[in-house]
Structure 1
Amino acid sequence: MKKPLLLVSALAISLINAQNNDALKREFEKQNKENNEKFDLYISKHYGANKSPEALQEIENDRSRLAGFLPGGRPYFHQAHDMDQILNSNSDFLQEGTLSGLTGSFNGEGIKFSIFDGGNSSAKGRVYADHVFFNNAPNRITNKEASSMNYGAHSTAVASFIGAKHYPYTITFQDGTTRQVNFKGIAPNSTIDAYNFGTTVLAGNTAESTIFEKILIAQPNISNHSYGTNMGWDQTTINGATALIWNGNFTSPNNSQDAQGSYYVNDRNYDQIVYNNPSYIIVKSAGNSYGIGPTSNSLPKYYINSSGNPELFSATDTLPQNNCAQGYDCIGFGSLAKNIIIVGATDRITTNNGRYTTKNDIIHSAYSSAGPRDDGGIKPDITAVGTSVATASTAENTIGGNLFTIGDGTSYSAPVVTGVIGLWTQINKQLFSGNILNAASAKTLMIHSAQEAGNIGPDPHFGWGFIDAKKGAELLVGKSNNTVVFTDEVLNNSAINTKSVTAIGSEPLKVTISWIDPEFTNFSNLWSDLHNNRTSKLINDLDLKITDTTTNTVYYPWKLDALNPMTPATKGDNTVDNVEQVVIDAPVAGRTYKIEISHKGVLKNNAGNSAPQNYSIIVTGFGSVLGTNETITKSDVIITPTITKDIVNIMKAPKKSTFTMYDLSGKKLQSGVINSDLQTIDVSSYTKGIYIIEVKTNKDVISKKIIKE
Structure 2
Amino acid sequence: MTYAKPILTALRIYIFLAILCLASFKSVSQTPKQIQGIKQEYRTAKLGVFTDKLKQEFTHEKNTLLATANAKGWKLSERLSDGNYRALTSIGADGTPIYYSTYSTFLNNANRANMLQDKEFLGLELNGEDMLVGVWDAGAALVTHQEFDSRVTVRDDSEVVNSHATKIMGVLVASGKDNKSKGVAYKAKAISNDWGRDKIEVAEMAANGLLLSNHSYGISSSQVPDWYFGSYIDISRDWDNIMVNAPYYLMVTAAGNAQKSGDNESPISGTREEGYDMLLGFATSKNGVTVAAANISTDGHGMLLEASIAGYSSFGPIDDGRIKPDIAAYGSNVYTTGINSRDEYVKASGTSLATPGVTGAMLLLQEYHQKIEGRFMKAATLKGLVLHSADDVGAPGPDYTMGWGVINSRSAADIITNNGYTSLIKEETLKEGETKTYTLKANGKHPLSASVSWTDPVSGKVNTGTLNDMSAALVNDLDIRIQQGDGTYFPWKLNASRAKSPALQGDNKVDPFENITIEKAEGEYTLVVAHKGKLTNGSQNFSLIVSGIAFNDCVLEVPQEITLTKKEATEATFTWKANTDALFQIQYKEKEAQEWTTTTTFDDFYTLTNLVAGKEYTFKVQTFCSDRASSKYSQDYTFHFQGKDADIEGGMDKGPVIGQDPVVDQDPIEDNKPGIVIYPNPVQEYIHFQGEVAPGLHYSIISPAGNTIKKGHSVDKTIYIADMQPGLYILTLVDLEGTKSFKFYKT
TM-score w.r.t. the length of structure 1 is 0.68
Query: In the aligned structure 1, how far is the partner of 2:37 from the partner of 2:368?
Result: 25
Do structure 1's residue 192 and structure 2's residue 190 form an aligned pair? yes
Equivalent position SS for 2:43: helix
On the 8 A contact 1:38/1:73 being kept in 2, the answer is no
Alignment of 1:88-99 (within 5 A): 88-98=110-120
Query: In the aligned structure 2, how far is the partner of 1:578 from the partner of 1:355?
Result: 29
Inter-CA distance 323–406: structure 2 relative to 1 (3 Å threshold): farther
Do structure 1's residue 329 and structure 2's residue 277 form an aligned pair? yes
Match of 2:99 in 1: 77
Indicate which of 5, 20, 36 corresponds to 2:46.
20
TM-superposed CA distance for 1:81, in Å, is 1.5
On the 8 A contact 2:258/2:278 being kept in 1, the answer is yes
TM-superposed CA distance for 1:603, in Å, is 0.5
Q: For 1:588-628, what per-residue CA distance to the aligned partner results, in whole angstroms no more than 9, with x for missing partners?
A: 2xx22110000001100xxxxx32100111111222389xx
Do structure 1's residue 540 and structure 2's residue 479 form an aligned pair? no
Q: For 1:67-95, what per-residue CA distance to the aligned partner results, in whole angstroms no more than 9, with x for missing partners?
A: 4433531221211112xx11111111211
Do structure 1's residue 583 and structure 2's residue 517 form an aligned pair? yes
Q: For 1:119-139, what per-residue CA distance to the aligned partner results, in whole angstroms no more than 9, with x for missing partners?
A: xxxxxx11111212223xxx3
Do structure 1's residue 442 and structure 2's residue 382 form an aligned pair? yes
Indicate which of 135, 141, 146 corresponds to 1:127.
141
Indicate which of 370, 392, 396 corresponds to 1:452.
392
TM-superposed CA distance for 1:509, in Å, is 1.1
Do structure 1's residue 513 and structure 2's residue 461 form an aligned pair? no
Structure having the higher Rg: 2
TM-superposed CA distance for 1:143, in Å, is 1.0
Match of 1:265 in 2: 234
Inter-CA distance 168–354: structure 2 relative to 1 (3 Å threshold): farther
Inter-CA distance 144–513: structure 2 relative to 1 (3 Å threshold): same
On the 8 A contact 1:485/1:619 being kept in 2, the answer is yes
Alignment of 1:214-225 (within 5 A): 214-219=201-206, 220-225=210-215
On the 8 A contact 1:501/1:625 being kept in 2, the answer is no
Query: In the aligned structure 2, how far is the partner of 1:612 from the partner of 1:331?
Result: 31
Match of 1:413 in 2: 354
Query: In the aligned structure 1, how far is the partner of 2:346 from the partner of 2:459?
Result: 40
Inter-CA distance 469–329: structure 2 relative to 1 (3 Å threshold): same
Match of 2:135 in 1: 115
Equivalent position SS for 2:360: helix
TM-score w.r.t. the length of structure 2 is 0.64
The letter of the residue matching 1:446 is: V
Query: In the aligned structure 1, how far is the partner of 2:42 from the partner of 2:438?
Result: 32
On the 8 A contact 1:128/1:152 being kept in 2, the answer is yes
Match of 1:614 in 2: 541
TM-superposed CA distance for 1:524, in Å, is 4.5
Inter-CA distance 495–321: structure 2 relative to 1 (3 Å threshold): closer
Query: In the aligned structure 2, how far is the partner of 1:258 from the partner of 1:64?
Result: 21
Equivalent position SS for 1:445: helix
Match of 1:559 in 2: 493
Do structure 1's residue 393 and structure 2's residue 338 form an aligned pair? yes
Alignment of 1:328-477 (within 5 A): 328-349=276-297, 352=299, 355-358=302-305, 361-395=306-340, 401-433=342-374, 435-477=375-417
Q: For 1:362-402, what per-residue CA distance to the aligned partner results, in whole angstroms no more than 9, with x for missing partners?
A: 1111110111111110001101000111111103xxxx543
Q: For 1:277-331, what per-residue CA distance to the aligned partner results, in whole angstroms no more than 9, with x for missing partners?
A: 0011211111111111389xxxxxxx9xxxxxxxxxxxxxx99999852342111
Match of 2:431 in 1: 492
Q: For 1:330-364, what per-residue CA distance to the aligned partner results, in whole angstroms no more than 9, with x for missing partners?
A: 11111010111110001242x74695434xx1111
Do structure 1's residue 226 and structure 2's residue 236 form an aligned pair? no
Indicate which of 528, 532, 542 corresponds to 1:596.
528
On the 8 A contact 1:291/1:322 being kept in 2, the answer is no
Inter-CA distance 499–335: structure 2 relative to 1 (3 Å threshold): same
On the 8 A contact 2:268/2:468 being kept in 1, the answer is no
Instruction: Return 5+ residue gaps in structure 1 as ranges.
Output: 1-6, 49-54, 119-124, 170-181, 199-209, 235-246, 250-256, 296-302, 304-317, 605-609, 627-709
Equivalent position SS for 1:151: coil
Query: In the aligned structure 2, how far is the partner of 1:503 from the partner of 1:390?
Result: 42
Match of 1:183 in 2: 181
Cα RMSD for the two superposed structures: 3.0
Equivalent position SS for 1:347: strand
Match of 2:257 in 1: 288
TM-superposed CA distance for 1:14, in Å, is 4.2
Equivalent position SS for 1:217: helix
Equivalent position SS for 2:413: helix
Query: In the aligned structure 1, how far is the partner of 2:167 from the partner of 2:56?
Result: 33
The letter of the residue matching 1:371 is: G
TM-superposed CA distance for 1:546, in Å, is 0.3
Inter-CA distance 533–390: structure 2 relative to 1 (3 Å threshold): same
The letter of the residue matching 2:503 is: A
Inter-CA distance 15–460: structure 2 relative to 1 (3 Å threshold): closer
TM-superposed CA distance for 1:586, in Å, is 1.3
Q: For 1:549-607, what per-residue CA distance to the aligned partner results, in whole angstroms no more than 9, with x for missing partners?
A: x3x1000000001110211000000001000001111122xx22110000001100xxx
Match of 1:642 in 2: none
Alignment coverage as a number of residue pairs: 511
The letter of the residue matching 1:289 is: A
Match of 2:562 in 1: none
On the 8 A contact 1:109/1:189 being kept in 2, the answer is yes
TM-superposed CA distance for 1:482, in Å, is 3.2
Equivalent position SS for 2:530: strand
On the 8 A contact 2:146/2:342 being kept in 1, the answer is no
The letter of the residue matching 2:216 is: S
On the 8 A contact 1:290/1:368 being kept in 2, the answer is yes
Indicate which of 199, 217, 240 corresponds to 1:212.
199
TM-superposed CA distance for 1:146, in Å, is 1.9
Equivalent position SS for 1:24: helix
The letter of the residue matching 1:223 is: S
Inter-CA distance 543–134: structure 2 relative to 1 (3 Å threshold): same
On the 8 A contact 1:347/1:388 being kept in 2, the answer is no
On the 8 A contact 1:67/1:266 being kept in 2, the answer is no
On the 8 A contact 1:290/1:323 being kept in 2, the answer is no
Query: In the aligned structure 1, how far is the partner of 2:514 from the partner of 2:43?
Result: 27
TM-superposed CA distance for 1:99, in Å, is 5.0
Q: For 1:476-529, what per-residue CA distance to the aligned partner results, in whole angstroms no more than 9, with x for missing partners?
A: 1011x533110100000000011011222222111011100011221343x3x1
Equivalent position SS for 1:405: strand
Identity of aligned residues (%): 27
Query: In the aligned structure 2, how far is the partner of 1:321 from the partner of 1:613?
Result: 33
Inter-CA distance 187–402: structure 2 relative to 1 (3 Å threshold): same
Inter-CA distance 12–290: structure 2 relative to 1 (3 Å threshold): closer
On the 8 A contact 1:270/1:337 being kept in 2, the answer is yes
Match of 2:551 in 1: 624
Inter-CA distance 431–540: structure 2 relative to 1 (3 Å threshold): same
Q: For 1:99-152, what per-residue CA distance to the aligned partner results, in whole angstroms no more than 9, with x for missing partners?
A: 55x6x511111211111112xxxxxx11111212223xxx311111326x1311
